[in-house]
Amino acid sequence: MKTLTDQLAQYASYHRDRRNIATHFIGIPMIVLALAILLSRPQWHVGSLPIAVSPGLVLFGCATVYYIVLDVVLGLVMAVFSAACLSVGAWLAYAPTAIWAGCGVALFIVGWVFQFVGHVAYEHRKPAFADDLIGLVIGPLFVLAEIFFGFGWRSALRDTVDHKASALRQNQESRHQPV
């Protein structure tokens, strides 16, 4: 399994332009919230569990375990964010279908528009998940790490991620140069 540094560096190699990263600060949380909403149905009440089980709870639970394995602090913060998104999703699951689906689909589409605008207008390259689907899972963690890095958290990790991402980007670009 790749380390946190490897995962963040791989993702960061597709995100070197600060404007593209800024679009991700808006688009990725919207997509995550949209998934929590759209996967909030159906809900099953299992035994004496205090919460209903939904596809969203299963997905977010698995992702949170993965995040905690990569980094406890980031994983726990992602768990809090995931719980908030799942709470909104569970609340909207009781709304009429048009409202539930409309909110989820609207957030999903607008979130992806932000993502693609960032990649087309600023980065001029495809998103990370186009080459590795794990990018879909790492994206939210990358945004959170970037927020933390902005506050000076773990500057050595940030420097290592930036160094590795630059090297990966140069390697990727050299492979696509015409001979």
In percent, the amount of the chain with pLDDT more than 70 equals: 96
The average pLDDT across 21-26 equals 94
Identify the pLDDT of residue 50: 83
Identify the pLDDT of residue 127: 80
Q: Binning pLDDT at 50, 70 and 90, where does residue 171 land? A: confident
List CB contacts of 33: < 8 A, sequence separation 6 or more: 85, 88, 89, 107
Taken in order 139, 149, 21, 12, the sign of the CA dihedral is negative
Q: Binning pLDDT at 50, 70 and 90, where does residue 152 land? A: very high
Say how far apart CA 165 and CA 145 lie, in whole Å.
Answer: 14
Taken in order 133, 41, 90, 64, the sign of the CA dihedral is negative
Identify the pLDDT of residue 153: 94
The average pLDDT across 17-22 equals 92
Residue with tokens 């205090």: 50
- How confident is the prediction for the chain on average, in pLDDT? 92
pTM (2 d.p.): 0.90
Q: Binning pLDDT at 50, 70 and 90, where does residue 158 land? A: very high
Residue 132 CA to its chain's centroid (Å): 14
Q: Binning pLDDT at 50, 70 and 90, where does residue 175 land? A: low
Q: What are the tokens at 59?
A: 């997905």
